[in-house]
């Protein structure tokens, strides 16, 4: 683990201004997000020890004396897809982040962000959320003996996610408007005025935890880098985090290769994909985004610059898929591979239909499944009253 904050600094992704301690809002004075930069003690592969996110503690900006707030997150399976063959010779793997403690990839970043909050003496966390962040922040606040204030868009959060925040004891407050309103107008302002610690993806310590997913993939593939990594994109922090992780592995001499990063948005909430497809450099915010993939129903992604940089530097791309394609991919992954994911997590699989002809022969493709399907069951209509009912063996045999 890094000894103290002298081993790292925070740098604005846009203007380059440097900070030794994070601003309350986790943003630079210019308004852009910050990224964490290690300044010394670069790790080696044999420095990794243990399991899960904290196996990579020597890459994380937490001092050795700090109490780690953990629920054994990370170490999620990388599953070879055996039945969803889409191109001869190509290997498809699914990184199932839905097997984290609260059922999503958010735990990977939250353990570091909340540990950092504990380190600096914060007592209350705050976040805006479409669901998964609220579940994760609430659980880790409870684990760390802290309070959590969760702001959710009114009527826009899946019940399976909302119940997690409630059961973990968070103060859940509905906000008029969409996720962007909850984040910009409420969570950020509340953090400035009431000394709350914000744990949304603009928090650079969260990104540090999420980047460990790239390290795990590298190790799970036998210390090899995949050719393509495909992720859902909502607020755009996760694709930035994975790119940071793969780039660090190359920087530290553990590999000489990085993957092409491919981000996928839902067509009804795809401002970043539209920007990329049009060859633009400035994001146009979408008002009232709408998609069945609630986890990525975001019209103004806060980390869009970092995501766009990750895609362009890796020679990847950004694209969008519609809700029908998303739901079909969700069913295919469940019925063919036994992996049940929430709709947002199915966007990479839906995108493969558009990408497969561009994959080189014998490519290794990793699809990041960010959340468990049990969190958002409402998108799958099941009426138990309409299921077959039998009262004797003959009727059962007839149905079978």
Which pLDDT tens digit goes with each residue over 296-323? 999 999 899 999 999 999 999 999 999 9
User: Higher pLDDT residue, 191 or 115?
Assistant: 115
Rg of the chain taking only CA atoms, in angstroms: 21
Place of tokens 């909302």: 162
The confidence score (pLDDT) of residue 38 equals 85
The confidence score (pLDDT) of residue 257 equals 96
The confidence score (pLDDT) of residue 84 equals 87
The confidence score (pLDDT) of residue 1 equals 41
Backbone angles phi, psi at 277, to 5 degrees: -65, -30
Question: What three-state secondary structure class fits 73?
Answer: coil
- Quick one: tokens of 43? 């790790």
Place of tokens 């138990």: 384
CA distance 52 to 69: 13
346-349 contacts, C-beta under 8 A, 24 or more apart: 346/293, 347/232, 347/264, 347/265, 347/266, 347/293, 347/296, 347/321, 348/230, 348/231, 348/232, 348/262, 348/264, 349/84
Please compute the mean of the pLDDT values over residues 210-233 and round it to a whole number: 98
For the segment 89-99, what is each residue's pLDDT rounded down to a tens digit?
899 999 999 99
Mean pLDDT of the chain: 90
Residue 332, CA distances (Å) to 83, 339, 363, 366 in order? 10, 9, 21, 17
39-48 contacts, C-beta under 8 A, 24 or more apart: 39/6, 39/7, 39/8, 39/9, 40/7, 41/2, 41/3, 41/7, 42/251, 42/252, 43/252, 44/252, 44/254, 45/223, 45/254, 48/215, 48/219
Q: In 3D, which of 179, 137, 135, 122 has the Cα closest to residue 155?
A: 179
What is the assigned CATH class of domain 72-400?
A: alpha beta
The confidence score (pLDDT) of residue 65 equals 84
The confidence score (pLDDT) of residue 2 equals 43
The confidence score (pLDDT) of residue 95 equals 98
For the segment 15-67, what is each residue's pLDDT rounded down to a tens digit?
989 988 777 767 888 888 899 998 876 788 788 999 999 999 999 998 888 89
The confidence score (pLDDT) of residue 333 equals 97
Does an H or E element contain 367, and which?
strand 364-369
For the segment 182-200, what is each residue's pLDDT rounded down to a tens digit?
666 665 666 666 678 989 8
Place of tokens 């460990």: 212
The confidence score (pLDDT) of residue 99 equals 97
The confidence score (pLDDT) of residue 329 equals 97
CA distance 229 to 65: 35
Evaluate if pTM is beyond 0.85.
yes
User: Higher pLDDT residue, 159 or 171?
Assistant: 171
Does an H or E element contain 206, and which?
helix 204-210
Residue 12, Cβ neighbours under 10 Å: how many?
18
Q: In 3D, which of 378, 375, 181, 373 has the Cα closest to residue 286?
A: 181
CA distance 123 to 191: 12
pLDDT tops 50 at residue 109: yes
pLDDT tops 50 at residue 370: yes
The confidence score (pLDDT) of residue 187 equals 58
Place of tokens 């001499």: 253
Place of tokens 């650079």: 204
């Amino acid at each position: 683990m890094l000894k103290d904050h002298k081993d790292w600094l925070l740098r604005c992704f846009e203007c380059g201004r440097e900070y030794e301690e994070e601003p309350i809002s986790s943003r630079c004075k210019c308004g852009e997000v910050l990224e964490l930069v290690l300044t010394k003690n670069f790790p080696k592969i044999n420095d990794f020890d243990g399991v899960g996110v904290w196996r990579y503690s020597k890459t994380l900006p937490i001092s050795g004396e700090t109490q780690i707030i953990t629920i054994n997150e990370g170490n999620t399976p990388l599953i070879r897809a055996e039945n969803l063959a889409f191109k001869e010779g190509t290997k498809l793997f699914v990184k199932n982040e839905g097997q984290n403690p609260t059922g999503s990839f958010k735990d990977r970043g939250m353990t570091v962000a909340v540990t950092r909050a504990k380190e600096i003496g914060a007592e209350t966390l705050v976040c805006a959320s479409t669901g998964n962040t609220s579940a994760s922040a609430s659980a880790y606040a409870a684990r760390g003996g802290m309070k959590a204030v969760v702001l959710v868009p009114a009527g826009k959060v899946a019940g399976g996610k909302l119940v997690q925040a409630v059961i973990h004891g968070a103060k859940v407050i509905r906000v008029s408007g969409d996720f962007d309103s909850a984040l910009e107008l409420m969570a950020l302002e509340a953090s400035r005025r009431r000394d709350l610690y914000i744990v949304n993806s603009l928090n650079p310590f969260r990104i540090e935890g999420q980047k460990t997913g790239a390290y795990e993939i590298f190790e799970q593939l036998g210390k090899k880098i995949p050719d393509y990594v495909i992720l859902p994109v909502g607020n755009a922090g996760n694709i930035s985090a994975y790119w940071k992780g793969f780039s660090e592995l190359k920087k530290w001499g553990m590999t000489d290769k990085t993957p092409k990063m491919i981000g996928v948005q839902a067509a009804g909430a795809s401002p970043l994909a539209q920007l990329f497809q049009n060859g633009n450099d400035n994001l146009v915010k979408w008002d009232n985004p709408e998609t069945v993939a609630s986890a990525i129903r975001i019209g103004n992604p806060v980390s869009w610059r970092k995501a766009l940089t990750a895609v362009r530097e890796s020679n990847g791309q950004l694209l969008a898929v519609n809700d029908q394609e998303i739901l079909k991919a969700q069913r295919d992954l469940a019925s063919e591979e036994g992996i049940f994911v929430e709709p947002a997590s199915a966007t990479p699989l839906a995108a493969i239909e558009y990408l497969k002809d561009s994959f080189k022969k014998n490519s290794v493709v990793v699809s990041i499944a960010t959340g468990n399907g049990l969190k958002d069951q409402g998108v799958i209509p099941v009426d138990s009253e309409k299921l077959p009912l039998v009262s004797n063996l003959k009727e059962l045999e007839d149905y079978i």
